[in-house]
Structure 1
Amino acid sequence: MEQISLEDKVSNTLKWLANQIACIQVYKKWDEEFKKESLNNAWQKVQEQFKKDIDWNALTESQCKALHFGSWQSEEDIEEEISCLQSELDKGHLTKEEFDKKVSKEKNTLGLRLIPLYLYPSLPIGITLTSIGGEKRVFDGSNISTDIRFGCLAWGIKPKKD
Protein backbone atom coordinates (compact mmCIF):
# COMPACT_ATOMS: atom_id res chain seq x y z
CA MET A 1 0.00 0.00 0.00
CA GLU A 2 1.35 3.41 -1.00
CA GLN A 3 2.22 5.82 1.81
CA ILE A 4 0.44 9.19 1.63
CA SER A 5 2.89 12.08 1.93
CA LEU A 6 2.53 14.71 4.63
CA GLU A 7 2.00 17.31 1.92
CA ASP A 8 -0.93 15.34 0.49
CA LYS A 9 -2.43 14.73 3.94
CA VAL A 10 -2.37 18.44 4.77
CA SER A 11 -3.65 19.36 1.30
CA ASN A 12 -6.55 16.92 1.68
CA THR A 13 -7.36 18.29 5.13
CA LEU A 14 -7.35 21.88 3.87
CA LYS A 15 -9.51 20.89 0.89
CA TRP A 16 -11.99 19.29 3.27
CA LEU A 17 -12.01 22.49 5.37
CA ALA A 18 -12.56 24.64 2.27
CA ASN A 19 -15.56 22.49 1.36
CA GLN A 20 -16.97 22.83 4.88
CA ILE A 21 -16.63 26.61 4.63
CA ALA A 22 -18.25 26.54 1.18
CA CYS A 23 -21.25 24.66 2.62
CA ILE A 24 -21.60 27.31 5.31
CA GLN A 25 -21.55 30.10 2.73
CA VAL A 26 -23.59 28.44 -0.03
CA TYR A 27 -26.38 26.80 1.95
CA LYS A 28 -28.51 29.84 2.70
CA LYS A 29 -31.10 27.84 4.65
CA TRP A 30 -28.62 27.04 7.41
CA ASP A 31 -29.24 29.34 10.37
CA GLU A 32 -26.40 31.44 11.77
CA GLU A 33 -25.99 29.40 14.96
CA PHE A 34 -25.68 26.16 12.97
CA LYS A 35 -23.16 27.80 10.61
CA LYS A 36 -21.06 29.00 13.53
CA GLU A 37 -21.17 25.57 15.18
CA SER A 38 -20.29 23.86 11.88
CA LEU A 39 -17.31 26.15 11.33
CA ASN A 40 -16.00 25.63 14.87
CA ASN A 41 -16.42 21.85 14.60
CA ALA A 42 -14.63 21.77 11.24
CA TRP A 43 -11.76 23.86 12.62
CA GLN A 44 -11.38 21.54 15.62
CA LYS A 45 -11.33 18.46 13.38
CA VAL A 46 -8.67 20.03 11.17
CA GLN A 47 -6.45 20.85 14.15
CA GLU A 48 -6.85 17.31 15.52
CA GLN A 49 -5.84 15.94 12.11
CA PHE A 50 -2.78 18.21 11.92
CA LYS A 51 -1.71 17.08 15.39
CA LYS A 52 -1.86 13.46 14.18
CA ASP A 53 -0.17 14.05 10.82
CA ILE A 54 2.62 16.54 11.54
CA ASP A 55 5.80 15.46 13.28
CA TRP A 56 7.25 18.90 13.99
CA ASN A 57 10.70 17.50 14.79
CA ALA A 58 10.95 15.73 11.43
CA LEU A 59 9.74 18.46 9.06
CA THR A 60 11.98 19.01 6.05
CA GLU A 61 12.61 22.16 4.06
CA SER A 62 10.49 20.94 1.14
CA GLN A 63 7.62 19.99 3.45
CA CYS A 64 7.74 23.43 5.07
CA LYS A 65 7.62 25.03 1.64
CA ALA A 66 4.65 22.87 0.60
CA LEU A 67 2.84 23.73 3.86
CA HIS A 68 3.36 27.47 3.20
CA PHE A 69 5.91 28.23 5.89
CA GLY A 70 7.59 31.56 5.22
CA SER A 71 11.29 31.81 4.52
CA TRP A 72 12.86 34.43 6.79
CA GLN A 73 16.35 35.43 5.65
CA SER A 74 18.91 34.20 3.18
CA GLU A 75 22.55 33.74 4.07
CA GLU A 76 23.26 36.92 2.08
CA ASP A 77 20.70 38.87 4.16
CA ILE A 78 22.40 37.75 7.36
CA GLU A 79 25.87 38.62 6.04
CA GLU A 80 24.60 42.08 5.07
CA GLU A 81 23.11 42.64 8.53
CA ILE A 82 26.34 41.50 10.21
CA SER A 83 28.27 43.89 7.97
CA CYS A 84 26.02 46.75 9.15
CA LEU A 85 26.56 45.69 12.75
CA GLN A 86 30.33 45.62 12.15
CA SER A 87 30.11 49.19 10.87
CA GLU A 88 28.22 50.21 14.02
CA LEU A 89 30.90 48.53 16.14
CA ASP A 90 33.68 50.26 14.20
CA LYS A 91 32.00 53.64 14.74
CA GLY A 92 31.73 52.99 18.47
CA HIS A 93 27.92 52.80 18.45
CA LEU A 94 28.04 49.22 19.81
CA THR A 95 30.24 47.57 22.40
CA LYS A 96 31.99 44.32 21.50
CA GLU A 97 29.61 42.51 23.86
CA GLU A 98 26.53 44.05 22.19
CA PHE A 99 27.97 43.28 18.76
CA ASP A 100 28.63 39.62 19.64
CA LYS A 101 25.13 39.22 21.07
CA LYS A 102 23.47 40.75 17.99
CA VAL A 103 25.60 38.69 15.60
CA SER A 104 24.71 35.53 17.52
CA LYS A 105 21.00 36.33 17.26
CA GLU A 106 21.31 37.06 13.53
CA LYS A 107 23.03 33.72 12.97
CA ASN A 108 20.24 32.00 14.94
CA THR A 109 17.82 32.96 12.15
CA LEU A 110 19.74 31.14 9.39
CA GLY A 111 17.42 28.53 7.87
CA LEU A 112 14.41 29.79 9.84
CA ARG A 113 10.98 28.92 8.41
CA LEU A 114 8.10 30.97 9.79
CA ILE A 115 4.98 29.12 10.90
CA PRO A 116 1.74 29.85 9.03
CA LEU A 117 -1.04 30.97 11.36
CA TYR A 118 -3.29 28.06 10.38
CA LEU A 119 -0.79 25.67 11.99
CA TYR A 120 -0.41 27.62 15.25
CA PRO A 121 -3.10 25.62 17.13
CA SER A 122 -1.33 22.36 16.30
CA LEU A 123 2.07 23.44 17.65
CA PRO A 124 3.20 20.94 20.28
CA ILE A 125 3.94 22.14 23.79
CA GLY A 126 7.68 21.91 24.44
CA ILE A 127 8.88 22.60 20.89
CA THR A 128 11.75 25.08 20.65
CA LEU A 129 10.90 28.00 18.40
CA THR A 130 13.10 30.81 17.09
CA SER A 131 11.92 34.38 16.55
CA ILE A 132 12.85 36.59 13.61
CA GLY A 133 15.03 38.41 16.13
CA GLY A 134 17.00 35.22 16.85
CA GLU A 135 15.49 34.56 20.29
CA LYS A 136 14.89 30.91 21.16
CA ARG A 137 11.90 29.96 23.28
CA VAL A 138 10.33 26.69 24.42
CA PHE A 139 6.65 26.94 23.46
CA ASP A 140 4.25 26.58 26.41
CA GLY A 141 1.01 27.02 24.47
CA SER A 142 0.70 30.77 24.82
CA ASN A 143 4.13 32.40 25.16
CA ILE A 144 4.55 33.68 21.59
CA SER A 145 2.75 36.42 19.72
CA THR A 146 0.19 35.37 17.13
CA ASP A 147 0.61 38.61 15.21
CA ILE A 148 1.18 37.78 11.54
CA ARG A 149 2.81 39.23 8.46
CA PHE A 150 1.96 37.68 5.10
CA GLY A 151 0.13 34.85 6.90
CA CYS A 152 3.01 33.72 9.11
CA LEU A 153 4.01 34.21 12.72
CA ALA A 154 7.26 35.96 13.67
CA TRP A 155 8.33 32.60 15.10
CA GLY A 156 9.50 29.52 13.31
CA ILE A 157 11.45 26.32 13.17
CA LYS A 158 14.61 25.16 11.49
CA PRO A 159 13.60 22.19 9.37
CA LYS A 160 15.82 19.31 8.40
CA LYS A 161 17.63 19.47 5.07
CA ASP A 162 16.04 17.40 2.29
Structure 2
Amino acid sequence: VVTQRPVTWASDADQTISVIGDHRWQNVTVTCDVLMEAVGTAGVFIAARVDKGGQSVRGAKGVFFWVFADGTYKVTTDLAGQTVLMEGKSGTRALAWYTVSLTVKGQSASGTLDGVALWNVAVTSSSKSGWAAVGTRAFELAQFDNFSVLAD
Protein backbone atom coordinates (compact mmCIF):
# COMPACT_ATOMS: atom_id res chain seq x y z
CA VAL A 1 0.00 0.00 0.00
CA VAL A 2 1.33 3.42 -0.92
CA THR A 3 1.62 5.57 2.22
CA GLN A 4 2.26 8.93 0.56
CA ARG A 5 0.29 10.48 -2.26
CA PRO A 6 2.35 10.07 -5.44
CA VAL A 7 2.88 12.68 -8.11
CA THR A 8 0.04 12.06 -10.55
CA TRP A 9 -0.64 12.92 -14.15
CA ALA A 10 -4.38 12.27 -13.90
CA SER A 11 -7.11 12.72 -11.30
CA ASP A 12 -6.62 10.01 -8.70
CA ALA A 13 -8.67 9.02 -5.67
CA ASP A 14 -8.21 10.15 -2.07
CA GLN A 15 -8.15 6.47 -1.10
CA THR A 16 -5.53 3.92 -2.06
CA ILE A 17 -6.83 1.04 -4.17
CA SER A 18 -5.37 -1.98 -5.90
CA VAL A 19 -7.70 -3.67 -8.38
CA ILE A 20 -7.11 -7.37 -8.93
CA GLY A 21 -8.35 -10.07 -11.26
CA ASP A 22 -10.90 -10.05 -14.06
CA HIS A 23 -13.37 -7.26 -14.86
CA ARG A 24 -15.92 -9.92 -15.89
CA TRP A 25 -16.20 -11.45 -12.40
CA GLN A 26 -19.81 -11.37 -11.16
CA ASN A 27 -20.34 -13.72 -8.21
CA VAL A 28 -17.28 -13.59 -5.97
CA THR A 29 -16.01 -14.09 -2.45
CA VAL A 30 -13.05 -11.89 -1.51
CA THR A 31 -11.19 -12.74 1.71
CA CYS A 32 -8.17 -11.05 3.24
CA ASP A 33 -6.39 -10.68 6.57
CA VAL A 34 -5.98 -6.98 7.38
CA LEU A 35 -4.11 -4.93 9.97
CA MET A 36 -4.55 -1.17 10.39
CA GLU A 37 -1.46 0.55 11.74
CA ALA A 38 -2.81 4.06 12.43
CA VAL A 39 -4.73 4.40 15.69
CA GLY A 40 -8.10 6.17 15.53
CA THR A 41 -8.43 7.25 11.92
CA ALA A 42 -7.32 4.15 10.01
CA GLY A 43 -9.57 2.25 7.67
CA VAL A 44 -9.19 -0.56 5.15
CA PHE A 45 -11.49 -2.17 2.61
CA ILE A 46 -11.97 -5.18 0.41
CA ALA A 47 -14.22 -4.87 -2.60
CA ALA A 48 -15.93 -6.76 -5.41
CA ARG A 49 -17.44 -5.77 -8.76
CA VAL A 50 -15.18 -2.71 -8.96
CA ASP A 51 -15.87 -1.13 -12.34
CA LYS A 52 -12.95 1.30 -12.79
CA GLY A 53 -9.20 1.50 -12.36
CA GLY A 54 -6.38 3.74 -13.54
CA GLN A 55 -7.17 7.41 -14.11
CA SER A 56 -10.92 6.76 -13.75
CA VAL A 57 -10.64 5.11 -10.32
CA ARG A 58 -11.93 8.19 -8.45
CA GLY A 59 -15.42 7.32 -9.73
CA ALA A 60 -15.17 3.57 -9.07
CA LYS A 61 -18.39 1.78 -8.17
CA GLY A 62 -18.85 -1.72 -6.79
CA VAL A 63 -19.38 -3.22 -3.34
CA PHE A 64 -16.86 -1.94 -0.77
CA PHE A 65 -16.61 -3.49 2.73
CA TRP A 66 -14.77 -1.08 5.03
CA VAL A 67 -13.54 -1.69 8.59
CA PHE A 68 -12.16 1.12 10.71
CA ALA A 69 -9.83 1.41 13.72
CA ASP A 70 -12.57 3.22 15.65
CA GLY A 71 -14.56 -0.03 15.94
CA THR A 72 -17.01 0.51 13.08
CA TYR A 73 -17.69 -0.87 9.61
CA LYS A 74 -19.39 0.45 6.51
CA VAL A 75 -20.62 -1.05 3.23
CA THR A 76 -20.68 1.34 0.27
CA THR A 77 -21.31 1.20 -3.46
CA ASP A 78 -18.50 3.62 -4.30
CA LEU A 79 -14.83 4.12 -3.48
CA ALA A 80 -15.48 7.60 -2.10
CA GLY A 81 -17.83 6.09 0.50
CA GLN A 82 -20.71 8.42 -0.36
CA THR A 83 -23.43 5.82 -0.97
CA VAL A 84 -23.77 3.76 2.21
CA LEU A 85 -25.73 0.51 2.14
CA MET A 86 -25.08 -0.43 5.77
CA GLU A 87 -22.95 0.58 8.73
CA GLY A 88 -22.49 -0.42 12.33
CA LYS A 89 -20.16 -1.58 15.09
CA SER A 90 -17.40 -4.05 14.28
CA GLY A 91 -15.15 -3.95 17.34
CA THR A 92 -12.09 -3.49 15.12
CA ARG A 93 -9.08 -1.50 16.27
CA ALA A 94 -5.60 -0.67 15.08
CA LEU A 95 -2.63 -3.01 15.50
CA ALA A 96 -4.69 -6.22 15.45
CA TRP A 97 -5.19 -8.72 12.64
CA TYR A 98 -8.70 -9.42 11.34
CA THR A 99 -9.97 -11.71 8.61
CA VAL A 100 -12.58 -9.92 6.50
CA SER A 101 -14.65 -11.61 3.83
CA LEU A 102 -17.07 -10.20 1.27
CA THR A 103 -19.44 -12.36 -0.77
CA VAL A 104 -21.43 -10.88 -3.65
CA LYS A 105 -23.85 -13.16 -5.45
CA GLY A 106 -26.63 -11.93 -7.71
CA GLN A 107 -28.41 -9.07 -5.96
CA SER A 108 -27.13 -9.78 -2.44
CA ALA A 109 -23.91 -9.14 -0.56
CA SER A 110 -22.72 -10.24 2.86
CA GLY A 111 -19.66 -9.75 5.01
CA THR A 112 -17.94 -11.59 7.80
CA LEU A 113 -15.35 -10.54 10.34
CA ASP A 114 -13.18 -13.33 11.75
CA GLY A 115 -15.68 -15.87 10.45
CA VAL A 116 -18.71 -14.28 12.13
CA ALA A 117 -21.51 -12.86 9.95
CA LEU A 118 -21.53 -9.07 10.35
CA TRP A 119 -23.97 -7.86 7.69
CA ASN A 120 -26.18 -8.90 4.77
CA VAL A 121 -27.70 -6.45 2.29
CA ALA A 122 -29.41 -6.25 -1.09
CA VAL A 123 -27.22 -4.81 -3.84
CA THR A 124 -28.92 -2.51 -6.32
CA SER A 125 -25.71 -1.08 -7.74
CA SER A 126 -25.22 -0.71 -11.48
CA SER A 127 -22.00 -2.76 -11.21
CA LYS A 128 -22.96 -6.29 -12.23
CA SER A 129 -19.35 -7.40 -12.70
CA GLY A 130 -15.87 -6.12 -11.99
CA TRP A 131 -12.51 -6.57 -10.33
CA ALA A 132 -11.74 -7.44 -6.73
CA ALA A 133 -9.83 -4.78 -4.79
CA VAL A 134 -8.12 -3.88 -1.53
CA GLY A 135 -7.18 -0.47 -0.19
CA THR A 136 -7.16 2.07 2.60
CA ARG A 137 -9.22 5.09 3.64
CA ALA A 138 -6.29 7.42 2.95
CA PHE A 139 -2.59 7.14 2.22
CA GLU A 140 -1.82 5.38 5.51
CA LEU A 141 -0.08 2.28 6.81
CA ALA A 142 -1.97 -1.00 6.65
CA GLN A 143 -1.09 -4.62 5.99
CA PHE A 144 -2.90 -7.16 3.81
CA ASP A 145 -2.16 -10.90 3.88
CA ASN A 146 -3.67 -14.19 2.70
CA PHE A 147 -5.72 -12.50 -0.03
CA SER A 148 -8.00 -14.85 -1.95
CA VAL A 149 -10.80 -14.65 -4.49
CA LEU A 150 -13.31 -17.37 -5.34
CA ALA A 151 -15.19 -16.48 -8.52
CA ASP A 152 -17.97 -18.22 -10.45
Higher relative CO (Cα under 8 Å, sequence separation at least 6) belongs to 2
Task: Assess same fold via TM > 0.5.
Answer: no
TM-score band, normalised by shorter chain: under 0.3
Could you state the TM-score of these two structures normalised by the residue count of structure 1? 0.21
Could you state the TM-score of these two structures normalised by the residue count of structure 2? 0.22
